[in-house]
Amino acid sequence: MSRFLRGWAILWVVFRYGLDELVLSGLPHPALRRLRGVLTFGRKLDKPRGQRLREALEELGPIFVKFGQVLSTRSDLMPPDVAEELAKLQDRVPPFDSQIAVDTIERSFRKSLDQIFVSFDRQPVASASIAQVHFAVIRDKSGVEHEVAVKVLRPGMKTVIDKDLALMHMMASWLEKLSHDGKRLKPKEVVAEFDNYLHDELDLIREASNAAQLRRNMEGLDLVLIPEIHWDYCHTDVMVMERMKGVPISQVERLREAGVDIPKLARDGVTIFFTQVFRDGFFHADMHPGNIMVSLEPETFGRYISLDFGIVGTLTEFDKEYLAQNFLAFFRRDYKRVAALHVESGWVPANTRVEELEAAIRAVCEPYFDRPLAEISLGMVLMRLFQTSRRFQVEIQPQLVLLQKTLLNIEGLGRQLDPNLDLWSTAKPFLEKWMLDQMGPQRLWREIQAQAPRYAKILPDLPRVLHQYLSSKGADREHDDLLKELLKQQKTTNRLLQAILCGGIGFVIGLVVLQILLRIRF
């Protein structure tokens, strides 16, 4: 019943804000235009279409707001007036009462506001679908004061999200049963992934831990700043972090006037994304402009500032390797390798003809190489890719849906910063270096180091195991068990010896090559 009522509530909002009129107005068929006139008769729809869409999404709740945030970064897919209005969803959702925020903080820490903060600004500086942010000052145990940002969870979010997710689960079940593409699209698994990360976003302790992990991962990159977490002031409903000072990345003209190299900023964004995805397998998955600023401080000038870590994505080593190989083959225009990887990974049926899939991928991708983002119609690319995926029964990978959403954000952000950005040439050197690190001598040495404690434990046991086997002439079962153990230990030892041998050979070859180069040079 609750799902039924929520469905009617959604339809009522759609009708009240005239979203049906927005859809029908974009369709060219005369009959549909006449239907639009009938449906809108008697309704006062005098507000601009972008404002109506934004207000409807705000009223519908956090899931719909997040959908609007993604659309707001895609000015290539949305009319400019609609994209500009939807950009207000990034950090300008109507705030909730500041007294509710104060009550939440005091309830969480069981102290009055004055006992927690030296000062607290009751006027929120940003408000989004899940939480809002206030500035404050804290004093640490040594008496030093720190400027901080206090994030407070919006009340009643779990109930609203649960209702929408229940409706989405029901619709996913219908789609899987009734649609021809239901099995391939895996709607139930996709909604389950969506369910997981939305509920994770409601726990600010989890968000704080995400921020701490990303901060550690990004320490040596010198391209992005991530706020420090003040753990003594964190709770499930409240998170306190270092206050970051910068200019919102959407204010491109202001950044340009300050002397920021905008094309470099766009390239750095691509580097940060690919580093988080392929090096760390742990990436910021909500990178719309409302969550990104740029530092103008002299010591960190031109660096990104990342905020809001409620949604992060993770990838397994298997997914990272196959994705990297796919990207690299794509950047090299090796479409046969792309097709073969899809078959090897099980993303398409095993009986798929590689040559046919190769030709289809080439037809979609080749027209867009060597073009800047300004000349690429992503809508056309997505439509053709979807047609190809249906033809070859490409299965949706639910664990990669978050990555695909983030890639849309990154590409949209790059388009806003620098329409002439060459996404392919920017990403290709990074992936080539990453693949070399994964397949080359460095990977071998890391594996040896990681397995060294295990080998050190196994090697002293080999004489004992061998002695037990040779001296024991008891039951056949004991002989078989000992023989299996001996063979297991022998295989492990062989791998160690092979690794040491390969490492030694590589070292010797390296010395020989170095000597040759020195002789040539001098």
Q: Cα separations (Å) of 13 from 4, 19, 65?
A: 15, 8, 14
Q: Which of 16, 11, 89, 90 is nearest to 54 (CA)?
A: 89
121 CB burial (10 A radius; 0-12, 13-18, 19+): middle
Locate the domains of the chain by residue range: 2-89, 158-198, 249-439, 440-521
Residues contacting 328, CB < 8 A, separation 6+? 428, 431, 432, 435
- The pLDDT score that the predictor gives to residue 518 is 35
* Residue showing tokens 């831990």: 209
Whether 286 is catalytic: yes
Q: Cα separations (Å) of 440 from 330, 354, 435, 447?
A: 21, 28, 8, 11
- The pLDDT score that the predictor gives to residue 258 is 95
Residues contacting 184, CB < 8 A, separation 6+? 389, 390, 393, 394, 395, 396
* Residue showing tokens 């509530």: 9
Stated as kind and residue range, the H or E segment containing 294 is strand 292-294
- The pLDDT score that the predictor gives to residue 191 is 75
Q: What is the C-alpha separation between 226 and 132, in angstroms, rounded? A: 18
Q: Which of 44, 40, 41 is nearest to 22 (CA)?
A: 40
Distant-in-sequence contacts of 118-126, Cβ < 8 A, 24+ apart: 118/145, 120/150, 122/98, 123/98, 124/95, 124/98, 125/149, 126/91, 126/92, 126/290
Q: Which of 308, 358, 306, 302 is nearest to 334 (CA)?
A: 358
Q: Cα separations (Å) of 414 from 73, 140, 263?
A: 10, 39, 9
What is the per-residue DSSP string for 427-439?
HHHHHHHHHHHHH
| Three-point CA angle 115, 118, 119, nearest 5° | 110
Q: What is the C-alpha separation between 267 and 287, in angstroms, rounded? A: 15
Q: What is the C-alpha separation between 280 and 286, in angstroms, rounded? A: 17
Residues contacting 264, CB < 8 A, separation 6+? 302
Q: What is the C-alpha separation between 182 and 191, in angstroms, rounded? A: 13
- The pLDDT score that the predictor gives to residue 185 is 59
513 CB burial (10 A radius; 0-12, 13-18, 19+): exposed
Q: What is the C-alpha separation between 279 and 266, in angstroms, rounded? A: 20
Q: Which of 164, 286, 308, 422 is catalytic?
A: 286
Q: Are 265 and 294 in contact (CB under 8 A)?
A: yes
- The pLDDT score that the predictor gives to residue 387 is 65
Q: What is the pLDDT along the chain (522 residues), one digit of tens a residue?
A: 666 777 788 888 887 887 767 665 655 556 655 655 555 555 667 788 888 888 888 888 877 887 777 677 666 567 778 878 888 887 678 899 999 999 999 999 999 999 999 999 999 998 888 899 999 999 988 999 999 999 999 998 888 788 777 877 777 787 677 666 666 656 677 777 777 777 788 899 999 999 999 999 999 889 999 999 999 999 999 999 999 999 999 899 999 999 999 999 998 988 898 889 888 989 998 888 888 999 999 999 999 999 999 889 888 888 887 777 877 787 788 889 888 888 887 778 888 888 998 898 888 888 777 676 666 655 556 556 656 766 777 766 666 777 877 877 777 787 788 888 776 677 777 777 777 776 656 656 656 666 667 766 676 776 776 666 666 645 455 555 555 655 565 555 455 444 444 444 343 333 333 333 334 333
Q: How is residue 92 annotated by DSSP?
A: B
Q: Which of 253, 264, 250 is nearest to 301 (CA)?
A: 264
